[in-house]
Every structure is written in C-alpha cells, then in structure tokens.
Amino acid sequence: MGCDIMKDMDKNKIKARIERLRKELDRNRYLYHIKDMPEIGDDVYDSLFEELRKLEEENPEFFSSTSPTQRIGDKPLEKFNKVKHSIKQWSFDDVFDFEELKAWEEKVKRMIEKSEFDSGSESNSDKLEYCVELKIDGLKIILTYENGIFTQGATRGDGTVGEDITQNLKTIQSIPLELEEKIDLIAVGECWLGKSELERINKERIKSDEALFANTRNAAAGTVRQLDSRVVAGRNLDSFIYDIDSFETQNVKRETKNSKNINVPHSTIYIPQTQTEELELLEKLKFKVNPHYKLCKNIEEVQKFYESWVDKKDKQEYEIDGIVIKVNSKKIQDILGYTGKAPRWGVAYKFPAQRVTTIIEDIVVQVGRTGALTPVAHLRPVKVAGSTVSRATLHNEDEIRRLDIKIGDTVVIQKAGDVIPEVVEVVKNLRTGKEREFHMPKNCPICGGEVRKQETRNKKQETSELSVAYYCINPKCFAVEKEKIIHFVSKKGFNIDGLGEKIVEQLINEGLISNMAEIFELKKGDLEALERFAEKSADNLIKSIEESKKISLEKFLFALGIHYVGEETAVLIARAINTEFPISNFQFPIKSQCPNVKMKNRLVSVENIEDVVNAFICFPKECWLSIKGIGEKSAQSLFEWFNNLDNVEMLKKMDKCGVVLVFPELQVTSYKLQGLTFVLTGEMDGFTRDEAKDIIRKEGGSVSSSVSRKTDYVVAGKNPGSKYEKAIHLGVKVINEEGFRKIIEK
C-alpha cells in the first residue's frame, strides 16, 4: 500500500509538470503565431515541446486533446485581412538524431508494405527515395497566381487561416509578379532576411534608439507585418520557394499530390511526379529555389548530407536550422498521407540546438587559480550543440540575482562553439514554489579560509570599488594551487601532455608537487608507485615534461597565471622586451639597485629566466604601463607578482631545472593593420584561433578578448557567442571569415 501511495505522489508531480508545460507552451505559441513577438527561440520551444511529448507518451492517462502536442496553431491577428487557405498548410514533425530518423523510415516502410505498393518499381517516380532540402529559418509564405499573375500572398497562420500580406511580398524582388505560363498556381516557400542585412538594419535601429532584432527570423517576421510597404521595400527581404500545392491550366485543376505525369497541350509545363521534379518546375517558372537540395537513395545518404551541412550551415547568408526530408515519389506521398497535424511522408531533421531547457538540480561553488569563487549549476543532463552537458557557469552572485536563478528552476542554457555552457534565462512560469534560494558561502568551500570581495582602484574617477566576484584570501588554498598548476601545464602554457586535472590533484595529494616549478623535479621513480601509473605511462609523462622545457616568452608569462595577464597581455610584453622597451627612460637608479639588468642599445635584454628575474623585479608599475595595451590592473598585478619572494624563488628553481626561453619571430612584418583592434568569436574553418591572432599581430594589428566601442572589427566564425551580440549592440563592424581574408590579403 505504501508503494502505491508513492507512485500516486510521483504521478501527481508528473501531472503537475505536464500541466505547467502545456500552459507555458501555449502562452509562447500565442506570442509566436499570433503576436509575432516570440519571447524564446525555436530551439528552446522545441526543447520544452519535446519534454512534454515524452511525458505524455510515457503517461497516456494524462492525454488531453487541447495539449500543444495535438495542435498546430491558432487564429491570426485582426490587423491584416484574414485568408482561408484553399489547401491546409502543414508543418513537419521533428527528429533530432539518426536513431529517430531511422525510426521514422521504419514507419514509412511499414505503411508502404501494408498498402501493397511496389516501392521497388523500376520507375524512378515509384522508388522509395528521399529529396532532402535545407530548412531555412524564416517565415512560411503561400503565393497564389491566377492566369499567371500574382494575386495574393499569405502567412501560414494556424494552417487553415493566415493573413494577407500581398503588398509586402510584392516588394521582394525574387518573387515573380507574372509567370511566363498562363496558369493558376499555389506555391509555398520561405521568406527570409540575410545576415548582413540584419546587421545593417540593427545599426540603423541603434542610431534611432529602437530595440534591436534578436535574429534574422524575428526581423523577417517583423518586416512582413509592417503596414507601410515602403518600410518593407527598404529591408531587402528574400525568398526560397520549395513546394507546389496545386496548379490549373486550360480550366482543368489537378492537385499535385494525386497527379500523374501528363504533358499539358500547347505548354512545356508538366505535372511533377516527384519532389525533385517539382523543384525543377519551380525553377522553370522563375521562382528562386535553394540550389542545395539532393536526391538520396537511402537514409545513410541522407545522414551524410545532414552531417556535411552541420559544418557548412553558418557560411550561408541565410539562417539554416536543419534539413527537410521528403519521400521523393508523389505516389508514395499520397499513400502515406497525413496524421492529424503533419505529413507522414516528410520530417524535419533539426541541427543540434544551441539553446535548450533543463533543470538546475544544485549549485556548487568552484575555486579558481586566482582564488575567485565561481558558482556552477549542476544540471539535469541535456544535449546541446551536439554534446551532453550537466554543468553550466553562473559567473557570480550578481548574475544569479540578475537572472533570479533558484535551485530547482527550469532554465535555458546556451552553448556556442567551444564556449562553456551558460544559463541565459529562467522559465519562471514553470516554478512550483519549491525552488530554493542560493547564497554564496562565507568561507572557502575548499580550505575554509576567509572569503571576501577585492577592492580595486578606478584611476580615472579616483575612486575605489569592490570586485563582482568573491575571493578566497588564503594564498595556500589547495584549490588555488591546483588550478594554478592546471593553468600552467595547459595547451596555451607549457602544454604538458598527460598532466590533466586528476593527475595534478593526485601529485599534490601525494606531496610530490606543491607549486609549478616542482613539476620539473619529478622523476620516473616518483610516478611508478602511484595509482594509474605503469612504467610506460610514467616514461611518457617524464618525456612530455622534458619536451616542454623549451618555451616562448609569451607562453611562459601566460603560464605563470598572473592575475589580469592573459594571452594577449603576455604577447604585448614579449614583443616589447628586446625591441622597444627603453628602461633608461624611467627615473630610478638602475645601476645601483639593479646591476644585473642586461641592456642592449638602451633596451632591456631578456634571453633566459635569470634575465626575467633580474629585470622584472626592478620594474616599477609605471614601467609596465608604458607598454602599449597594458592597463592599470595588469601593471599593478605584474608589479606585485614579480616582487613576491616566493614567486621569485619558484622562477629560479625553473631556471635551475633547465627551463629555457625561446624567442620565435614576434616582429611586425607589415603595417597594413596598424592601429586596428580585432576581436575573434566562434569557430573558423581556414584558421585556428591562434593562427588568426598571429596573422593580425604580424600585420601590425592587435587582438582583444572583449568588445568595446574602440574595437574596429569582430571576426565572427561559426556559432559566435555573446561578443557578436555586443558588437551589434555597439555598432562595431562584424565580418565573417571571408571578410577577414579579404582584409589581410589586400
């Protein structure tokens, strides 16, 4: 009896979750379909929808005919004249991976077998093949032609009734106003806005203090709903047409879904028997058809097409959120027919979502190498951007308060490229009242030491302010030391292969290392007795440590983990040393107090770690500030780090252990980018991030890690993050990889 009560309690929770999801999805459906003012992206809506669909499937006793999973849309706005579609407008069901795609195909094959249709016929129009097309992320449009003249354009609306937007669609140059054939036709396609056009429009909206469009889909939807067609004409909308609902010639109307291949008298037009023939006919009629469609003989070819576009999709001028797979044969399409809400003969295969929803199960505080405490959300595992994630950064306490995040909340998480997933929004309408507030700890969760915000000085305003983050102020905190060493051996530092987080922690726990320099004192015998280490793995790690001892000055400085000294600052210092750093410009007794500083032609000379120690301990803060690009915080941090005796001893130990500085060419080879500052975001195909940075530096430009009004260019690759959005907001020029190539190849 007790078990039954528990089951009832669990069922009650499931029922409550289902009801909340239905309510939230219905609210967003209304905003999206009726108001054209979506609050969430398609991928977020899809994630919530998929959760509801699975819950209803697993709990059929909670079925409801009014659930969002059982309907397509609702009535349109009153602003435009209503249009009743002569043929119902469907939307495709979604699949999200190859297993779901195979399951869809199995259903298709079973239905064909039940119909006793010979899909293995020699006729191409009778074979089970697939036409795959790109799924353009725009606005569905239905175009009506009478006797070859464009007479009406409409939105999809709820699938039965849409809105008349004829005048606005007439402004789209890719939509023909008159066809060469005197036929009656209903064509279906997508209205979209180009990425570069969105950038231009948003820059204009910044100047007029208007809200920015979040993406091209929102901009296209907002544009076609303008009452003044002159505004629409100024925004350069475009279209792709991909389907024919019906056409009529010589007063004989034939629905293409039931048609045969018949030559029409006195005309070169024929009734298509396949989807590929339909696309060819649309091209013949002078509609704009996306050229990237393909006839696939089997589901494996479909998968290859899909995978090829996962990487290529961001290179197009238009947004693509997946592919659409249609049974190519019209005869087979007729046999398969429709469910209550979607065609059985087609499916949308969505690309990995960049935004999805999940639940915060806990919030745990991590301690970084600078002692900063960072709250991290432990999530119910969810797939985003092609990989499963269970953690997401919450940045700091202020960000948690700004987003009003609570433990137990349903949240939207975002992942772009190789950026760490982050929480960007709380779905507050799904709260149950059992969510818990989070509070930052008063003591370090690792060492128990005191935690407090750091005081920083604003030089311009001559004021002091507290940092956003909390810091553990115990310099010997285990977590801080561990993170320092992990940073030290990372790819952008000493790049010691095989020395990952778990091995570092093990070495510290065993007392074999307590700081960065002691890594170079390790011997094979120290490792062999440890768990996870056999003779070969010990040999490999010692070899890797030995190979890492030769390191460039900029990587060496970055590896030290000095606060506010990142990759770019390290490059600025390395470039200044030996080339443009006249220490004699500064008024302090170099000869008497720093007799060991090497000088060449009045420039500081650094050839090894001993030179680093001798020179850098003598530099006042003003000396660091004289290097172009180094600010107040970095200069103060450098001064303090090199005047700490423990740090100096650690550097001397590295020198003794054989760490050697090398000096690759950091000189500027031309000045075509001189005075220009670049920010890189997203993933590029032709360059690694490091290669792009080296090119910019050698051409005289500089690279920044953050976007400001002083930034000249933001180079946006695939899956750009928040830097792209900030650039648009600030009106900074955004270029893609091709644009970057043109600049550097001038």
- Give the contacts of 263 (CB within 8 A, at least 6 positions apart): 270
For residue 526, give the amino acid letter. Answer: D
Is the Cα torsion angle 80, 82, 87, 88 positive or negative in sign? positive
Length, in residues, of the chain: 746
Query: Taking Cα atoms as reference points, which of 468, 411, 406, 466 lies closest to residue 438?
Result: 406
In Å, what is the CA distance from 79 to each residue of 34, 162, 171, 213? 11, 12, 19, 21
Is 135 marked active-site?
A: yes
Residues 6+ away with beta carbon under 8 Å from 643: 617
Q: Please tell me which residue in 84, 107, 135, 536 is annotated as part of the active site.
A: 135
Q: Which of 360, 364, 374 is nearest to 407 (CA)?
A: 360
Is residue 438 within 8 Å of 406, Cβ to Cβ?
yes
Whole-number Å distance between alpha carbons of 598 and 596 = 6
- Among 332, 305, 325, smallest CA distance to 94 is for 325
The three-state secondary structure class of 241 is strand
Q: If DSSP states are collapsed to H, E and C, what string results for 692-705?
A: HHHHHHHCCCEEEC
Of the candidates 658, 702, 655, 707, the residue with the CA atom closest to the CA atom of residue 681: 707
- Would you call 674 exposed, middle or buried from its count of C-beta atoms within 10 A (0-12, 13-18, 19+)? exposed
Give the Cα separation of 604 and 576 in Å (integer): 9
From residue 143, how far is each of 178, 187, 389 by CA, in Å? 12, 5, 43
Contact (Cβ atoms closer than 8 angstroms) between residue 633 and residue 467: no
DSSP-derived pairing of the beta strands 346-350 and 355-367: unpaired
CA distances to 140, 152, 218, 237, 617 from 170, in Å: 15, 9, 20, 10, 71
Cite the active site residues: 135
